[in-house]
Amino acid sequence: MKYDYDVIIIGAGMAGMYMLHKLREVGLSAKVFEAGHDVGGTWYWNRYPGARVDIESQEYSFSFSPELEEEWVWTERYASQPEILRYLNHVADRFDLRRDIQFNSRVKSAHYDAANHLWRVDTENGDSVHARFCVSATGCLSVPNEPNFPGQERFAGPTYHTGRWPHEGVDLSGKRVAIIGTGSSSIQSITEIAGQVGQLYVFQRTPNFSVPAHNGPANPEVRKNWLANRAENRMAQRQTLGGFLSSVPNEQKASETGDNERRKVYEERWADGGFAILGAFADQSSDPASNALVAQFAAEKIREIVRDPKVAEKLTPKDYPFGAKRLCVDTGYYQNFNRPNVELVDLNETPLDTITEKGVATSEKEYEVDAIIFAIGFDAMTGALTRMDIRGREGRTLVDSWAEGPKTYLGIMVSGFPNLFTITGPGSPSVLSNMVVSIEQHVEWLADLFVFMRDSNMVEIEPTAHAQEFWVEHVNEVSNYTVYNYANSWYLGANIPGKPRVFMPYAGGVGAYRDLCAAIAANAYMGFKLKLADQG
Ligand code: NA7
């Protein structure tokens, strides 16, 4: 049977854009369906005030084109969302990507035709195409956790979700605003809007650890040094745990370090900013006593910054280890709670009862506001995949296959779903890493696979059930050596009612993961079943 494209790519964020570029390079035809009006994915949708990357700009950028890297100059140490979106538009123009991207086209379904080894992909607009391979590049944090608060439809004013912020912007100046949630999106938003709004009520269910970014104008020297050692830096980045070099892990153990020396290390890393503190000591993530020391240091910092000791206490996480929930990186978050117009409402003390016509009511009182911001996160990692009607062999749905939580081989393929690929899917390092590094690794590995299949006349690839089982177990086992299982986080699906509690990303690090993927490819794609064209 004839087909329209070698590959259909779903999504034109960083992953879909690079996949398209790479496929062109290797001579395969591809088409991208993108739900949004333009490129950018996560950075297209997440336009809330203060949205910014938590990894240093030069590290959070594509490495596949040295020319691109030479010509693009980041203006801040940590790039803001508008700047990243400008960069992605530049990438789209520079590599002429848009001609193969169909915008405003949300994929509704993808069904596998096993007899012909083809995917049929349908959009909500009525497009229907066939391709040999289907690559989902739908992002890990792309489906907002929909607010479902009692009475929310009664609220008379406007409501916003940080993950779907209006493109035309929102003027909150002088307004009374409620923000629900205190994750990264909220922390960044609060810092931006606290000085503009009349009154801000912050509704907190669980406090988060947040560390200062120490953002500022990009240092030309840093850029010069980075470019002078570009290739080495990129190679080194790919062999780290998290996919970035700016926080070199310390090999010392906190448990074996004296009080003064330990304090010095924490202070230096706090002063460095961002994720540096995650690598403060080698045993921080594995030894609860060592973890408690860094948590104590962070708690002291909160108490130093926040003047009201009761508020500082409420802002301090106590029920989970440092780093077990995604660490937040801020530009003066805690300081906002010293402002007279900012009030923290602890939902553990006074639970949120209902949303009223005028505002938010807790068990204690009604907070009258002009606008409500839902900063309540995403249906992470699986949300975008399970929302499409994806059917593999014998019509089995992905939703059914993942009823007990996502199961993949290497986070890139699912048994029973031949020729379907999930860039940065559950079971890959993805959200525990610099996404750009992880995206590039998946894209390049896939392009090599497609070329191998084309050149050897293969029409189908699928992981064996056994290999998938092994990988699911391995992902689980590795997570047991970390702190991640000790918090109710979105890594575990705990933020979405009814979602199976399974630790989704691979915590073994991008370096080890890359080496394993390469070894699997070099060993005739061990763990995968491949089918030749004439095998039927
Ligand atoms: P997060 O990190 O999932 O944060 C969502 C916040 O919203 C978090 O504080 C939640 O509390 C809170 N939340 C969620 N549902 C509710 C309800 N029903 N009531 C009250 N509070 C609620 O999402 P973000 O968008 O901030 O960040 C996502 C990632 O984007 C981030 O980690 C970076 O990788 C970038 P909880 O902790 O669940 O008690």
How far is 193 from 172, CA to CA, in rounded Å?
Answer: 8
Same domain, 354 and 475: no
DSSP-based three-state secondary structure for 199: strand
> What would the pLDDT profile of 179-227 be if each residue is shown by its tens digit?
999 999 999 999 999 999 999 999 999 999 999 999 999 999 999 999 9
Choose the residue to mutate in 275, 320, 495, 504 for probing ligand 1, maximizing ligand atoms within 8 Å of C-beta. 495
Burial class (CB in 10 A: 0-12, 13-18, 19+), 1: exposed
d(CA 183, ligand 1 centre) in Å: 4
63 located within any domain = no
Q: Which residues contact 290 (CB under 8 A, 6 or more apart)?
A: 253, 254, 255, 281, 283, 284
Position 137 scores a pLDDT of 98
Q: Does the beta carbon of 188 sit less than 6 angstroms from any atom of ligand 1?
A: no
The closest residue, in CA terms, to atom 10 on ligand 1 is: 181
Query: Tokens for 264?
Result: 């010095």
Domain boundary among 342, 359, 374: 374
Same domain, 225 and 120: no
CB of 102 within 8 A of CB of 89?
Answer: no
Same domain, 136 and 195: no
Same domain, 392 and 522: yes
166 located within any domain = no
- Distance, C-alpha 134 to centroid of its chain: 21
Q: Does the beta carbon of 206 sit less than 6 angstroms from any atom of ligand 1?
A: yes
Q: Does the beta carbon of 185 sit less than 6 angstroms from any atom of ligand 1?
A: yes
User: How many C-beta atoms lie closer than 10 Å to residue 258's C-beta?
Assistant: 8
DSSP-based three-state secondary structure for 52: strand
Position 247 scores a pLDDT of 80
How far is 266 from 247, CA to CA, in rounded Å?
Answer: 12
How far is 196 from 190, CA to CA, in rounded Å?
Answer: 10
CB of 420 within 8 A of CB of 392?
Answer: yes
81 located within any domain = no
148 CA closest ligand 1 atom index: 18
Position 410 scores a pLDDT of 98
423 located within any domain = yes
d(CA 346, ligand 1 centre) in Å: 14
Tell me how many domains the chain contains: 2
Nearest of 121, 110, 123, 140 to residue 45 by alpha carbon = 140
Choose the residue to mutate in 48, 203, 205, 496 for probing ligand 1, maximizing ligand atoms within 8 Å of C-beta. 205
How many helices (H) and strands (E) would you count in the chain?
15, 20
Same domain, 225 and 136: no
Same domain, 340 and 386: no
Query: Tokens for 213?
Result: 């970014």
52 located within any domain = no
Which residues partner with 268 through β-bridges? none
Tell me the CA distances in angstroms from 163 to 61, 167, 382, one per residue in order. 21, 11, 16
CB of 201 within 8 A of CB of 178?
Answer: yes
Same domain, 294 and 326: yes
Nearest of 421, 393, 399 to residue 409 by alpha carbon = 421
d(CA 382, ligand 1 centre) in Å: 16
Q: Which residues contact 343 (CB under 8 A, 6 or more apart)?
A: 199, 200, 201, 202
Evaluate the CA torsion angle 274, 275, 278, 282 in order and state its sign.
Answer: negative
DSSP-based three-state secondary structure for 436: helix
225 located within any domain = yes
Residue range of the domain that includes 132: 5-39+97-143+380-535
Query: Tokens for 146?
Result: 């929909």
Choose the residue to mutate in 54, 84, 185 for probing ligand 1, maximizing ligand atoms within 8 Å of C-beta. 185
163 CA closest ligand 1 atom index: 25
The identity of residue 407, as a single letter, is: K
d(CA 264, ligand 1 centre) in Å: 32
Domain boundary among 351, 374, 397: 374
Low-confidence ranges of the chain (pLDDT < 70): 536
Domain boundary among 354, 374, 394: 374
Same domain, 413 and 281: no
Residue in the block written with tokens 């763990």: 527
Same domain, 111 and 213: no
The closest residue, in CA terms, to atom 25 on ligand 1 is: 377
Strand residues in 334-419 grouped as ranges (E): 342-346, 352-355, 359-362, 366-368, 371-374, 389-391
275 located within any domain = yes
| CATH number of residue 112's parent domain | 3.50.50.60
Which residues partner with 150 through β-bridges? none
50 located within any domain = no
Same domain, 412 and 274: no
Same domain, 510 and 440: yes
Position 352 scores a pLDDT of 98
Q: Does the beta carbon of 183 sit less than 6 angstroms from any atom of ligand 1?
A: yes
Residue in the block written with tokens 């590094």: 437
Same domain, 389 and 369: no
